[in-house]
Chain A
Amino acid sequence: MSLEKLYEIKKQWMPIYFILLIISIIVTLYLMLMYLYTANEDYVMYIMLSTLFSFYVGFNLVKLLRIKTPKYNYVKVLTCPECGYSMVKPMAKGDYLFKVEGECPKCKSSMHISALYKEKVKG
């Protein structure tokens, strides 16, 4: 699907975001330690900038990680008009609504397709 392709292109950036996040975290920690040891207030501004950058990269990475492409099951419901028995089967090419298909396992009458649809796979 189009979204899949779009996500694929976007997900190509994931390793870069990941590396950038690690680097920025290391830099932030380094700057924090430097501030602790030297007490130089210039480091505070650098820490802020570095933290902001880390948040930005982290936010984008989370956005990419949260992308999920939905998956669907294509089903048809076969119903027996005589006894009302019904069963669910995977949809096949050429199926159409009210197509007569198969024999009812209960009363041996002809069954027909009473529903055709796709449903989202959970999980």
Chain B
Amino acid sequence: MNGQGIGDVITWIVLLTLFAYLNREFEIWRMISEIETYIAAFKSIRDKAIQCTLNSFKEISLRNEQKVNLKIIEERLRKLIEISFIQPTDLDPYGIVGKLKHLVRTTDKTLESEVKTLIPFASKAEIENMKNLIGATQAINEIYKIVDHIYRIGRKFKSLWILMQLSALLPFITESIKAYESSLEAFSNGYPVGDSVGPIVAAKFIKRYGKDVRVKDVEEDTIIAEIPYKDRTIIIIKAKGPAGVVGRLDDAVEYALSIYKNIKMIITVDAAHKLESEESGSISDGFGVAIGGMGIEKFNIEKLATLHRVPLYAVLIKMSEEEALSVINKKLFEATDNALKNVERVIEERSNPGDSIILIGVGNTIGVTP
């Protein structure tokens, strides 16, 4: 091998090393620019959410012919969206559901009193819708801040792996943020959302079979109605609309089980997360309690059902995360009729005349009465 040959080999090695280095740098740059685009979009959504919430405060005050200081509201709102919910410790898991319930109720009550302080003249529905709006803004703000934090860490340490993981998760994060963003429109206008399918089915059942039936308030934001259906008694439980509330369904079930002695089954109707291959609005049956969230109500209803040996059935309406939080679409609204048919079928097939059945419409009852 002569000097020329060695020189060529060294040049090739240097070029290949340089190429590999530049390729990595280019990959990081490409990823950074992609993440930055998303972060810019998330930031604008966060700002839009704050603006939308502020506009809603303004609209409510205008509607009630009251004057509010928007600057004070904005300051308060910016603090409210930074509030954190601290999960109770699970070092000793015994009684954690009770602790969680207490914390959730405290958070809810405090947020309600905060909103009432800002707009004392607002109606119950307006206050609940504002609470929902603040909740959505909080969620958007949190997602934006976490994504921004991970991005900054990745950039600080020039870590391709951190950026790659973030980049891989961005489509899912965008789905979530899109869902929260589309909920702003529904909550600020008081329109039903995809998650309202459960209460819609319950409301339709009341409307169809219990026209003159009196609806009773049992727990806070929760109603109960006793409907006669094919020689059976159907006890409908749902959150009280049209405010954007989810009600206290577990407490209402406890109340119903203490009043009605012949309960043969509990049916929950709720929105369920669809898989990509599944169609929006498709209906499926299930066993157990179909309730999302933190699992407090699910746990309590399961406990009560086990105690009273009552079978638990569920009717699920499939939808995406975005559909669940945005204004209900035609497909999902029509799916509530199919879900109602399914509920009727479950009642007829799995119970006998003379039985009592609890039917729970699970979800946010925004824009749905009673």
Contact = CB atoms under 8 A, between A and B. Distances in A.
Interface of A: 1-3, 5-6, 9-10, 72, 74, 91, 93-99, 115-120
Contacts of A1: 178, 181-182
A101 B290 CA distance: 34
B38 A6 contact: yes
A19 B242 CA distance: 54
B174 interface: yes
B190 A96 contact: yes
B328 A9 contact: no
Interface string B326-347: 1111101100000000000000
Given A115-B333, A117-B332, A119-B329, A96 B40 contact: no
Given A91-B191, A95-B367, A99-B369, A5 B328 contact: no
Interface of B: 37-38, 40-42, 44-45, 174, 177-178, 181-182, 189-192, 200, 203, 207, 241-242, 326-330, 332-333, 367-370
Contact of B329 (A10, A93, A117): A117
B192 A93 contact: no
B333 A116 contact: yes
B37 A117 contact: no
B330 A2 contact: no
A115 B203 CA distance: 12
A2 B178 contact: yes
Contact of B207 (A2, A98, A116): A98
B368 A3 contact: no
A122 to B, nearest CB: 12
Contacts of A95: 190-191, 367
B147 to A, nearest CB: 13
B328 A118 contact: yes
A100 B368 CA distance: 12
Contact of B327 (A9, A93, A118): A118
10 contacts: A1-B178, A2-B41, A6-B174, A95-B190, A95-B367, A96-B241, A96-B369, A98-B207, A118-B327, A118-B330
Contacts of A91: 189, 191
B329 A118 contact: yes
B330 A10 contact: no
Given A2-B174, A72-B327, 13 more contacts: A1-B182, A2-B41, A2-B181, A97-B242, A97-B367, A97-B369, A98-B369, A115-B333, A116-B191, A116-B328, A118-B326, A118-B328, A118-B330
B42 to A, nearest CB: 8
A96 B207 CA distance: 14
B203 A97 contact: yes
B31 to A, nearest CB: 16
Contacts of A10: 37
A75 to B, nearest CB: 8
Contacts of A98: 203, 207, 368-370
Query: Residue among B40, B41, B200, B370 with the most chain A CB within 10 A?
Result: B41
Nearest to A77: B333
Contacts of B328: 116-118
Nearest to B192: A116
A120 B331 CA distance: 11
A96 B368 contact: yes
Contacts of B37: 6, 9-10
A97 B182 contact: no
A6 B42 CA distance: 9
A68 to B, nearest CB: 16
Contacts of B192: 96-97, 116-117
Contact of A9 (B40, B45, B368): B40
Contacts of B38: 6
Q: Which 7 A-B pairs have the closest CB atoms?
A: A96-B242, A117-B333, A96-B367, A6-B41, A119-B330, A97-B368, A5-B41
A72 B326 CA distance: 12
A5 B44 contact: yes
Contacts of A2: 41-42, 45, 174, 177-178, 181
